[in-house]
Structure 1
């Protein structure tokens, strides 16, 4: 592409909206940026990228091929700040951070709230972490080191330490003067936390209340004493459920002694909800992270592991079929109908399993209602099994004109549907009680059990009534 053509393309891209109707970067815009980078026109590339929101700049890097990202990063280096890295996909961010020296990473992390800085630094190797932390200011380093001491995916990792806390004996005027008189205070907050002399939270006060209350009124008289406190060791999924249940905008985080050490805001929870929902769906399929930016070797390793486990489960099911090879040899139609029994049983089990995993993830399934849920799914399975059994029996009779085969087929289908409904509840609940994530391994158990019971019921009934004899 000539310089004249490139200049026209850049001008066209600058003159139109970079986003489509779904707020995604347009392919022609991405191509224009990469063409500018390839042509060595860093100024043109920067002019194209500068109007973008940090989240859209992050999307631009994710849409850029792996081998072209270093060139793009070099061209728009001054736009590649901490806010962009915080919005970036983990794998893409790792690629870019690997290309930066520890001083640059430390500078970027220092621009961010503690939670976003931790998200960047926690993925580094131990040696790289130490080097980056060594380059940071003592206060920033201490805050991040403390956050890293908490378990992964816990409230301690998720929280930010930048918050506003005032004593309960202050007046509204004292709080306003404090906010106006200290420029170093955080500017992104929705409520003020009220603490006692031991720095333990005793209430909260929304900014709207502060603005509408006379200066002489005591904070203790206007604050709300009921609040949702988040322990530092609480899992982030449980934190998200609390935000959803109580419609929180922000919440105080307390340490083991009950002292206020940070806060969590709803913008972080939105990311957690999205991550957890996608994670459970992918785990059910055995697809790992399911990230299109994940290195191929990691994807192959994860998927191959679960495919190997599924292979073993399938061979177990096949061994059941081997027990009835004589009946199958005498009556070949059994082999024609077996896959239908297996497929419908697996689908019915997966439906129940998906409902149970979601209920467990949302804390809807507890010890108090597990038996009721089992009864509910048992009823659903009975109704579905009866309907499928009648339809299957009728269909097989129309095709094969064998009433005995049709009856065996219908009964086996009904029975396997009932088994699928029961194991679809029992397996994830049992795994959850054993502190094993039901989203990870439930599918293998459920499909294996439904396959085995489907083959046993169908071929066993066929042998019992002497089909093909």
Structure 2
């Protein structure tokens, strides 16, 4: 049977003209909207923005300079619903929320699922939070307050309370009638949770099973009893790992007594995986959130802290060089070559560090395979060190024609690479054992180790060999 080609709507065509091949807003479209706002033609701006998806409207605000966002918000105020705010960057959303009255924020939060509403309210000041919660309906307020009582970045903050749960003794027909007869039920779900009289989850039924099963069959006969339950206090990164490991679409969240209190869906997990991956990369460099919308003052403060720490570690490495002033004075060529040893060690340490931190984050590295991981990285470091040592040794001999200098720099290269490999494994593992995020602090320690060992091994060997000009 041939496919029927539906005519493209005007709205679809407009959106295609506003987005490039990577589904990003075209610069000329952004300029057209902002020019309309600047000219006071709010109707034209609204006409341009109206066909956009909520996520694209959020992108439009993120692409707008901070000082121009208030005018844009005024022009398209009726398009700024809860879905747009839920998609918005945290810093941009905070700017706009600050300009709204508490009852307006309450209205926005009431339109959203619990998890999205919490994302809007949780970063507000305590006084503003109380005002917003006071303006909400009692049921919505109770749900938000309960979610806010859970630790940040936990399943309790991430979950939504809107779900479908039915008793095990119901038939498929009972479940269908229930879903059709209650308009207030959530419409976004993939499975129905089955609970016992104590409201503890005992299984799940996929919507496809309900639709394909005769009405008279008991839910208990078609439900899947095995399911992945998420404790309400579980860290969101661990939640994401469970979704990834077991290929989940949604999962039940339970409290300390085992009762069903919410569910987490895969669309939330996609955001978490992206956030956690980017967060670890930025922490390795000490760049803070790395968000281009972060206030400049906060960015400077965050980066300066780690730059000062790095300054301290650089002074440690410099003091090692100071111990060998006499050797360097006797053979000034050492000062030219020693940055090569420390620099290559730093690169090797960073490679190992990145692999180990990723392995820790994804639960690939546990106490059962730590020893194997250490030995593996040591073998890799030794092999790379030997090859790099041979290359730098040969190169040094060809350039300077000195066998003794070539041997010293080759051996120093091997020693520093092995040290880098060992540090790249042991530092993050040790920090993780003490419940310190290895992505935050590891780079500083490993860099210090490779610099000091690079200088110490090269200059120390040169001193022992008695190199001189």
Asked if TM exceeds 0.5, the reply is: yes
TM-score (norm 2): 0.97
2:377–2:421 Cα contact (<8 Å) kept: yes
Contact in 1 for aligned 2:15/2:51 (Cα 8 Å) = no
Q: CA deviation at 1:350?
A: 0.3
Please give the alpha-carbon distance, in whole angstroms, between the structure 2 residues aligned to 1:450 and 1:25: 45
* Mapped pair 1:397 → 2:391: no
CA–CA distance in structure 2, aligned partners of residues 392 and 384 of structure 1: 12
1:4 is aligned to none
> How far apart, CA to CA, are the structure 2 residues paired with 1:136 and 1:213?
41
Query: What residue number does 1:340 align with?
Result: 340
Q: Which residue of 2 aligns with 1:273?
A: 273
For 2:465 and 2:220, locate their aligned partners in 1 and report how far apart those are by CA, in whole Å: 81
The answer for the alignment partner of 2:430 in structure 1 is 430
CA RMSD of aligned residues (A): 0.9
Show the counterpart of 1:87: 87
Question: Which residue in 2 is equivalent to 1:9?
Answer: none
**d(CA) in 2 for partners of 1:134 and 1:400?**
78
Deviation at 1:354, TM superposition (A): 0.1
Distance in 2 (alpha carbons) for counterparts of 1:173 and 1:180? 11
Report SS of the residue matched to 2:169. Answer: coil
How far is the alpha carbon of 1:16 from its aligned partner?
6.2
Q: Alpha-carbon deviations, 1:72-114, whole Å to 9, x = none?
A: 0000000000000000000000000011010100000000000
Partner in structure 2 of residue 244 of structure 1: 244
Q: Which residue of 2 is the match for residue 224 of structure 1?
A: 224
How far the C-alpha of 1:15 sits from its partner, in A, is 8.9
Give the Cα separation in 1 of the matches to 2:100 and 2:342. Answer: 53
| Matching residue of 1:143 | 143
- Where 1:203 maps in the other structure, the secondary structure is strand
Q: Following TM superposition, by how much is the alpha carbon of 1:163 offset from its aligned partner in structure 2, in angstroms?
A: 0.1
Indicate the residue corresponding to 2:8 in structure 1: none
Once residues 347 and 254 of structure 1 are traced to their aligned partners in structure 2, the CA distance between those partners, rounded to angstroms, is 45
Partner of 1:440: 440
Structure 2: unaligned runs, 5 residues or longer: 1-12
Question: Which whole-Å CA distance do the structure 2 matches of 1:237 and 1:14 have between them?
Answer: 39
Query: Retained in 1: the 8 A contact 2:382–2:417?
Result: yes
Alpha-carbon shift at residue 369 of structure 1 (Å): 0.1
Find runs of 4+ consecutive structure 1 residues off by over 6 angstroms: none
In structure 1, the partner of 2:386 is 386
> Kindly tell me: are residues 16 and 214 of structure 1, through their superposed partners in 2, closer, same or farther at Cα, counting changes over 3 Å?
closer
**Equivalents in 2 of 1:99, 1:343: separation in Å?**
49
Partner of 2:230: helix, strand, or coil?
strand
Query: What is the Cα deviation at residue 66 of structure 1?
Result: 0.5
Structure 2 Cα separation of the partners of residues 315 and 341 of structure 1? 18
Q: Quick check: 2:15–2:52 contact (8 Å CA) kept in 1? A: no
On the 8 A contact 2:86/2:116 being kept in 1, the answer is: yes
Contact 2:14 2:51 in 1 (8 A): no
Matches within 5 A, 1:114-263: 114-263=114-263
After superposition, residues 244-323 of structure 1 pair within 5 angstroms as 244-323=244-323
